[in-house]
A and B are shown apart, each in its own frame.
Chain A
Amino acid sequence: MKPGGWFDRRGWSDIIVGVPYAWAIVFILAPICIVTALSFAVPVLNSPPYQFVHTWPFVSIASFQRLFTDSIYIRSFSVSLFNASIATVLCLLIGYPMALGLTRVSKAANRVLLMLIVLPFWTSFLLRVYAWIGLMGNNSWFNRLLTVLYNILVPQAWHLANIQIMYTNFAVIFVVVYSYLPFMILPLYANLEKLDRTLDEAAMDLGSRPYQVFLDVTLPLSMPGIIAGGLLVFIPSAGELVIPSLVGNMSDPMIGAIISQEFGLNHDWPMAAAISVALLFVLVVPLMAYTRYQSRAEAGGAP
């Protein structure tokens, strides 16, 4: 094929490539470069509040040193990664049976049920969080239900009038799972739907029990869906800013709140930049490694 593809008249193809390219360089690449550069600067009382070191090696790793020594940052990093991991596992445990169920219903039911999974995504994210705030409060029906369940399970001596759900880490995980569940179900469903059902039948015919068929056939084959859904849940929930600010325990903040606080409240741009770079490393580098591994596996593993 011609080097410019089918659209080979110079002027036009240059515009079609050039305009979005320029936009992406100025508004996507430049901000990332700025954050990376600023993470090696030092904070000063000026406007803008940072400065680069004027002597060799011109970079300061003071912000990164603080990141690894100050307990605030270590603590908030662990809280974020912990919450995101638990939320991802819970999304998988709830989403997997739902996605599997969606592949087993009639075509008409499937259409409606899939639409019901997507529908909340089109409504306001904030209002769905807001709806839970009402439900988790101490005198709502949901809280009373949980309290009754709790009181049935525990000995008389530990009975509670109501369970404190709001402003706890549990509330954050609960609402994060709720908000990101569709992101787990949809890639899982897309993957499970494509699986060859005859493999299940073959395993059954050869005497496998249903749970064995699931463990030996369905689960391994759905691994790409699990990983895709897992990443779609894990990455945004680790950097979540809105949900913890509304239902979380503010004295034990997640990393998103720390970044916004360092930047907005403390005017410590280099520190905010250093945390951002570290978060990017923790979240995006494994993702890139996975993508590379997958594309290599596809290239090498195809029969």
Chain B
Amino acid sequence: MALFNPLLLGIAKTHLLARKKQSAIAALGVTFGIGVFIIMVSFMTGLNGLLDGLILNRTPHVRIYNEVKQSERQPIEDLAAYKDKAHIIHSIKPKNSQLKLRNGLAIRAELRKDKRVKGITPQVSTRIFYQAGAVQLNGNLAGMDVLEEARLFNFQQYIVGGKPEDLASNENAIVLGAGVAKNLSLQVGDYVQIVSINGSRERLKIVGLFQSGLADIDKVFSYCNIGTAQRLSGEGGDYFTDLHLKLHDIEAAAGMAEELRNSWGVNAIDIKTANAQFETGTSIRNMITYAVSFALLIVAGFGIYNILNMLIYEKMPDIAILKATGFSSGDVQRIFLYQAMMIGFVGAAIGLAFGFLASYGISQAPFETEALPTIKTFPVNFDPKFYIIGIIFALITTFLAGFMPSRKAGKIDPVDILRGQ
């Protein structure tokens, strides 16, 4: 009782080929369902990937930082006289502390040894003003290890008109936010005057423009080398405000952040907590894709069910003689189930090819937007996983569609037919 009995397969094939038009129409239903599924899922996930990438690719998996806040332990708690009493304190002010990340160097050294960590980059984040003539604009300057940042967080993808190397090799250079540049009418190659909050000034050369696709960020943020930022803040080489971690496994981020909070007493936030809304959007879009494709396949399934039912009705005498000459109920059932599966398989295979070609076409269509400087065509995800899901999807649907009719065929009593005529 092999699963694929060549004799029964041969009979099934002959049945299908004897009704080419009908079989083709049944297969076309599956082709359409699978084709649309592939197009939708490739395009949707491509777009999802792009949108998520906008934020997630350049977001550290864990960010360690220092936050200005009130002391968790107020002095009154240490007074023996007020122990076991309820403390009501009004107007608590934040504690005056440095923005510097405490134990930054030690944390960094420790994490470099951690096997889960793919990379770690320090950042010096400081508030600044961009000055052009009489105009001063609020801004934020982040000093960083440019090459590491490019390696870990795809910094280079957001630079227009320059390369990360240009910045890395120049201590007096800046990658200016595209929005800032527009507002100040500056271009690559120009100089921009930066004023720090403690009043020191620097004249920095613009070696590239930073365009993240999020206008609010581009209007505020600029990037420079970590040394430049330390100089502007008037601090030494051990000063940094943030540590950005990239892990090998993004799923480990939450646990890692928890661990860091507990062992170092620092603020640490993981990517999932910081960007929960992206995950939700992605899963809902995926759900819609699968729901629509599934609906299409169910329609195709009903088509197969119908055609098979008709075929079996028409084939009653053949079924009777097959049974009389020694084919069992299971054999007859499989003959018709194979037909459904063949329709499903051929339909799905053509559907996959059709879906691939169509999504390839989409991926070649021009798609240019200011917000996404490095994207020139529509994003399409050609993950082979979808093609495997597609064909499994189709085979399951056609199996279910074929199951009931073929069981009916298997149960036909040959005596009724042979005597009846």
A and B found bound together: no
